[in-house]
Structures are given as C-alpha cells and as structure tokens.
C-alpha cells in the first residue's frame, strides 16, 4: 500500500496523474515533511507502472520542490513547494479564466463561485494557508488563531 491515494485511469498521462495525487497528498498533510517517499520499485509494482514512468514522476516532484533525494536514505517529502514561477502562474491564470467563464455560463455570480472555491480548498487542504515568503506550507488556524495577514 502507498502512503497516498491514487488510482490510475487509462487515457490521461500516468505521470500527470501520480504527480497530481502525490502533490495533493503532500499539500493536504497526508504526507509530511521528512516522511519517506516510496521507492521507484515499490511505486512501480503497486501502481503497475513502468520504472521509467515512475522515474519521471519523482523527477517532476523533485523539480517542483515536493521531494528531495537524500543519498543513501532515499526520497523524502520536503517542507513544500518553492514559490511558483511566472510561467506556471500564467498557466494557472488560464485555468482560472476557464473556470470563471464556465461559472458564468451556468449563471453563477462571482461570490457564489468564490464561496465554492473556499469550500473546496478547505475540503482538500483543511484550514491551512501558505505563510511567509519561504514558500513552506504551514498549518495555521483560520479563525481565532491570532494570526492575520
């Protein structure tokens, strides 16, 4: 068994699917900084993925700052992703635009969409927020924690 939930569906790239599942689990605190990440061999066997495909998954997660390779130890979960670079911010903006247009087509007002986004955010990540500029994900109470932006 793997320490994060993932079910590979045919059609979409398995690399994308596993990267998505692992980063979601790390952001949501299912896996925490310092936790050992499964080996290529283990991921390959459990998910029935070719080892080359698993190598690509790990390379992407390392590149995005979710994992670090410790020689002699293996791959471990790190404190969180680096600050997003400009290209990827722009890519995200395109998705947001799509979401906004789709919401409008369904006749939703902006606040209804924002409240949907907030509910989903909490459901996936719990009441966590990114703090500071170092890019580390730290869980802080949403209300009454005495910490405001």
Q: Which of the residues 68 through 97 are near another protein (CB under 8 A)? A: none
The one segment of 10-18, 81-89, 108-116, 125-133 that binds another protein by CB under 8 A: 10-18
> Looking at the DSSP assignment, which residues form a beta bridge with residue 36?
76
d(C-alpha 111, C-alpha 124), whole Å: 20
Question: Could you say which of 50, 82, 88, 147 contacts another protein (CB under 8 A)?
Answer: 50
Q: Which of 3, 5, 12, 112 binds another protein (CB under 8 A)?
A: 12
CA 117 distance to own-chain centroid: 16
Q: Measured between alpha carbons, how far is 20 from 11 in angstroms, rounded to an integer?
A: 15
The SS3 call for residue 36 is strand
Q: Rule CB under 8 A: is residue 145 a binding residue for another protein? A: no
Between CA 75 and CA 79 the distance in angstroms is 13
Least distance CB 91 / another protein (angstroms): 13
Binding site for another protein (CB under 8 A): 8, 10-15, 40-41, 44-45, 47-53, 56
């Amino acid at each position: 068994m793997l320490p994060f939930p993932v079910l590979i569906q045919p059609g979409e790239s398995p690399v994308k699917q596993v990267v998505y599942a692992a980063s979601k689990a790390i952001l949501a605190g299912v896996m925490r900084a310092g936790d050992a990440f499964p080996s290529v061999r283990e991921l390959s066997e459990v998910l029935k993925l070719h080892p080359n495909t698993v190598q690509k998954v790990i390379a992407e997660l390392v590149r995005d700052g979710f994992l670090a390779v410790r020689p002699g130890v293996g791959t471990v979960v790190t404190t969180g992703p680096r600050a997003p670079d400009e290209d990827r911010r722009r890519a995200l903006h395109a998705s947001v635009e799509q979401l906004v247009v789709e919401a409008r087509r369904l006749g939703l007002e902006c606040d209804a969409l924002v409240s949907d986004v907030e509910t989903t955010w909490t459901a996936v990540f719990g009441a966590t927020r990114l703090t500071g500029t170092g890019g580390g994900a730290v869980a802080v109470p949403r209300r009454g924690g005495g910490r405001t932006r």
